[in-house]
Amino acid sequence: MRTVGIIGLGLIGGSMAIDLKRRGFADRVLGVEQDSVAAGAAVTIGLVDEVVPYEECIQKADIIVVAVPVNAAVKMVPDILNRFDAAASDKVVIDVCSTKSQICHATQYHPRRSQFVSTHPMAGTEYSGPWAAQPGLFDGRACIFANSEESSPKALQTIGQLYGVLNMRPIYMNADQHDVHTAYVSHISHVTSFALALTVLDKEKDEKHIFDLASGGFSSTVRLAKSSADMWVPILTQNHDNILHVMDTYIEKMKEFRDAVSTFDEARLRELIAEANRIKKILR
């Protein structure tokens, strides 16, 4: 009889709840959700067996998944480890945050650090809340295990099984290295989408034209601009240094394009586009 407790019933927490229960990893799923509307919805939709208070979740669950924004998780994970007593030596807590340095630094000297596994399941959509949860969200995607050498082999084995049930490919990585890489391939994409939405909204006062003229290209490029501030403000501030660095590179590249367009330099434009096209070989 295994009980999984999920704190934060949004897109990630909710989607985990669905598949961990359906696929038999959890006999019982408890949820913690401070927003009463979201809590009610999670029960109505059937994401969890029961919504319980925070303390009760920690007490009753064998595995606790912290699926709240990263600024809250940084404080919550050490608090949960503090509440693990001698009788709770088999319990494991995991986080699923998009930045890993701060949470790993905040826990590294905790006496129960080995009961914490820091993970980043690389899956999601631009929607949020329990109503955005969906089965199969994680299938076939990568899951980062950050600083896994600080977790106990037993905890790692349990969480390895959990992500195995979700059909994720494990990748082991240093937390700081993770934050550099995700700044480049995930965080910057969100910033460029936000900026694109702002640009278009600023200029296209006639909103009907945006809708009419938005071919597939615009919709997919701007899709991430629907992402929530609650999630992204903490990511952008926590991964501050890496994101600034990549934004500066990005602004330089935009300026190179701008200069080539402004001088009608077709050869340079052709060169820049050919170089950008190399992304084809890397992404399917």
Site for a copy of itself in 222-281 (CB under 8 A): 222-229, 232-233, 236-237, 240, 243-244, 246-251, 253-258, 261-262, 264, 266, 269-270, 272-280
Structure tokens given for 216:
């597939």
Residue 25 near residue 161, CB atoms below 8 Å: yes
Between CA 183 and CA 233 the distance in angstroms is: 14
Residue 101 near residue 175, CB atoms below 8 Å: yes
Q: Which string of x and - marks every residue 153-182 that binds a copy of itself (by CB under 8 A)?
A: ----------------x-x---------xx
Is 91 or 187 the residue whose CB approaches a copy of itself more closely? 187
User: Among residues 89, 157, 161, 219, which is the contact residue for a copy of itself, using CB under 8 A?
Assistant: 219
Is 4 or 191 the residue whose CB approaches a copy of itself more closely? 191
- What DSSP line would sit under 23-38, residue for residue? TTS-SEEEEE-SSHHH
Cα dihedral 270, 273, 278, 283, rounded to 10, equals: -150
Q: Measured from the CB of residue 108, what is the shortest distance to a copy of itself in angstroms?
A: 23
Strand 142-146 to 116-121 pairing? antiparallel
User: Among residues 87, 109, 149, 203, which is the contact residue for a copy of itself, using CB under 8 A?
Assistant: 203
Is 73 or 224 the residue whose CB approaches a copy of itself more closely? 224
Q: Measured from the CB of residue 231, what is the shortest distance to a copy of itself in angstroms?
A: 9
Facing residues of 50 across strands? Answer: 30
188 binds a copy of itself (CB under 8 A): yes
